[in-house]
Amino acid sequence: MAMTDSGNILAVGGDELDRLTDLPINVIHQIQDHMSIEDAARMSVLSRTCRYIWASNPKLVFDTKFCTKRTSSNTIDMINTILLQHHGAIKIFLLDIPSIHSSQHSVVDRWMLFLSRNGLVDLVIKNRNNVDAPYKLPSYVYSMALECLSLLNCIFKPPCRFQGFHKLKWLDLRRVTFELDAATSSLWMPNLEKLGFIFCSGVHFLNIYAPKLHILCLYGCGADTLNRQDKAMKLTDLIISSSPNLSSLTLGRYFLKFFASGTKAESLPTRLTRLRCLFIWDYDFDSDDQLFALLSILRSSPNLKTLHFRTLLQWKEGDMEVDVNNFQGLDYGSQRLNNFQTLQINKFRGSRAELLFVRFILASAPLLRKAILLVDTSLNESQSLKISQELMRFPRASPKSEIIFEPWSIERARLSVA
């Protein structure tokens, strides 16, 4: 079987076809998974066996590339044809609907009904272009025995009888609007391991039960409280009481502030002993509330290894003094971060509060390997030099620690995280 650089099938000889069709069906399905829908369809015309294998693939992916290079009607017709010809279970279904107008969302509803009867366990719906027309999940989605659910720009309004996804292990929601009432506000997900709410609305009505949760991301939702058992409850309580196994935590600044307790950097009521990675988005080093909250997490996370900040874009021009002898910082006490290894601050500006925090980390982490400070590009060469010179004077608890002081870029930030 010969293929072009773009992956298009050119020709298949008799011996090559025999070798291909002699492979186990699941192996051929894996080969098809690395092809576009069009190439897999072309492969199906090579023989009756290939046609059967193509029509029984349990994974169907209609991504952005597939949907944007044809008209809405052609997209709908092709997906209808593929589903009509399919036989056997469909376990994984990914649909990006940028070209499908909101007036045609009823067609997507019919696809969801079909999938609900065919053993679906992994559903991804991306509605990235229709910002003002979110896709409303039909009722039959909530009856599926899903293990993974990922939604972008959708409306989550379950029927009254819905209580949760009992088999769900991964829930990733971005720009999802929750329309809930008292009967549907409780999500019972006893097997959930990964949960992400990013730029969602209506989350303050949620009652979440997820005792196996170990990866949690809450960002850009702007909710003040979450509710459970008909009473207002701090986010702190949700994470601690429902998530004793958290190993990775991502928080936006609206959620981080709920960890603050009074005016002192006290520990949380329960230690997050399994927390290894902490990511803070839109962090403000000049906010006392956020600093107290961060220190509360650090004091309660004895096994934390990685701390990553994406700081606020706005900052004060006059806050560039780098003489740390003038700092009026907090009393950090004798805290030791005995397992801490990596600190990263994106768009580092060298403010007094930032430098004080870096000094605290360097002095408190005997196993620190790297402090990655990706400098905001608005800083001039003279400012960067003064900051780097000051950093090199800080005492370090780890003789092997390295300070990486480089200009920020999207590519550099991604590489550092990886």
Per-residue pLDDT tens digits for 226-278: 444 334 344 445 555 556 789 999 988 777 766 555 445 556 667 788 999 99
Q: Which residue has the higher pLDDT, 280 or 333?
A: 280
Indicate whether 29 belongs to any domain. Answer: yes
The C-alpha torsion from 72 through 73 and 75 to 80, rounded to 10°, is: 140
- Tell me how many domains the chain contains: 2
Indicate whether 215 belongs to any domain. Answer: no
Beta strands in 78-169 (DSSP E): 92-96, 122-126, 135-136, 148-152, 154-156
Look at the block and give the residue holding tokens 């990964």. 194
Indicate whether 103 belongs to any domain. Answer: no
Indicate whether 118 belongs to any domain. Answer: no
Indicate whether 168 belongs to any domain. Answer: no
The last residue of one of the domains, among 57, 84, 100, is: 57
Contact 49, 21 (CB under 8 A): yes
For residue 386, the Cα-to-chain-centroid distance in whole angstroms is 36
Indicate whether 3 belongs to any domain. Answer: yes
Indicate whether 411 belongs to any domain. Answer: yes
Question: What domain range includes position 332?
Answer: 305-418
Categorise residue 298: left if φ over 0, alpha if ψ from -120 to 50, beta otherwise: alpha
Indicate whether 65 belongs to any domain. Answer: no
Compute the average pLDDT of residues 95-101. Answer: 82
Phi, psi dihedrals of residue 411, rounded to the nearest 5°: -65, -45
Give the dihedral sign, CA 234/260/414/192. negative
SS3 call for 61? strand
For residue 412, pLDDT beyond 80? no
For residue 8, pLDDT beyond 70? no
pTM here is 0.80
